């Protein structure tokens, strides 16, 4: 068992390591405290699964997941996040995450989630499964505005909320500035948020980004 833990909090990494080693005493565990370290380890070594926190000092929102998937397409990524499922889970799965688990459930569910992901499956909670079923059957009338966005639009929205310019977003996402502008227009059309300030306030109020 070779597991890469990506989290900027040492206590959280220690806790995940303890859970893993209790189940797999001989596990080979790597640790990264930011996205840059994670990308280096993911490119340089073979891992069975990466356990990824979305709140990293050098990545906004889903950027850590998107870039890790780009760097190591064959590496299953289990998102372990402080953010509730309504905030990121659907988009994370659409971006290729093998599972989504909130940190409050880590103690009871993390080992099961890792086991399932390493076996080639996906791990989601029953609540998230029901939510995804509603989306697939077009029963999403109560969806929040950000849940109507595509994964790419969602990424752009979070980067806008974080204060990134169009050129910075284009660089991060490997897009043209014109394409970023197109995504911005779609975000405004779909959510009704008129400008950068409104997008930032909305993301903060929904717990999608920390502006403190």
Provide the token pair at 124.
């989601």
Nearest CA to 38 out of 68, 69, 9 is that of: 68
Q: pLDDT tens for residues 182-206? A: 999 999 999 999 899 999 999 888 8
How far is residue 44's CA from residue 61's CA, in Å, rounded to a whole number?
A: 24
Contact 19, 110 (CB under 8 A): yes
Q: pLDDT tens for residues 136-192? A: 666 555 677 888 888 899 989 999 998 899 999 999 899 999 999 999 999 999 999
Strand partners for 79: 52, 100
So where are the chain's domains? 2-134, 145-205
CATH of 2-134, one of 3.30.70.260, 3.40.50.2300, 3.90.1150.10, 3.40.718.10: 3.40.50.2300
Give me the helices (H) in the chain, please: 10-23, 35-44, 63-71, 85-94, 106-118, 126-136, 151-161, 166-173, 177-191, 196-205
Q: pLDDT tens for residues 57-111? A: 998 888 999 999 999 999 999 999 888 776 788 888 889 999 999 898 889 999 9
How far is residue 48's CA from residue 156's CA, in Å, rounded to a whole number?
A: 30
Domain at 145-205: CATH code: 1.10.10.10
């Amino acid at each position: 068992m070779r597991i890469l833990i990506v989290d900027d909090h040492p206590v959280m990494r220690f806790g995940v390591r303890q859970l893993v080693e209790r189940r797999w005493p001989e596990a080979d565990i790597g640790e990264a405290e930011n996205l840059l370290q994670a990308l280096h380890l993911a490119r340089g070594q073979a891992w069975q699964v990466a356990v990824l926190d979305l709140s990293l000092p050098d990545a906004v929102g889903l950027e850590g997941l998107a870039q890790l998937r780009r760097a190591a397409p064959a590496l299953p990524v289990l998102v372990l996040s402080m953010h509730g499922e309504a905030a990121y889970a659907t988009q994370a799965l659409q971006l290729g995450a093998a599972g989504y688990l909130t940190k409050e459930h880590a103690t009871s569910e993390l080992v099961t989630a890792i086991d399932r992901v390493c076996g080639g499956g996906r791990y989601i909670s029953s609540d998230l499964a029901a939510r995804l079923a509603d989306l697939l059957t077009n029963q999403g009338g109560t969806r929040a505005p950000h849940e109507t966005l595509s994964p790419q639009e969602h990424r752009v929205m979070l980067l806008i909320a974080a204060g990134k310019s169009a050129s910075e977003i284009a660089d991060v996402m490997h897009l043209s500035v014109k394409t970023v502008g197109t995504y911005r227009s779609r975000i405004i059309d779909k959510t009704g948020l008129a400008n950068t300030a409104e997008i930032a306030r909305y993301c903060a109020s929904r717990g999608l980004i920390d502006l403190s």
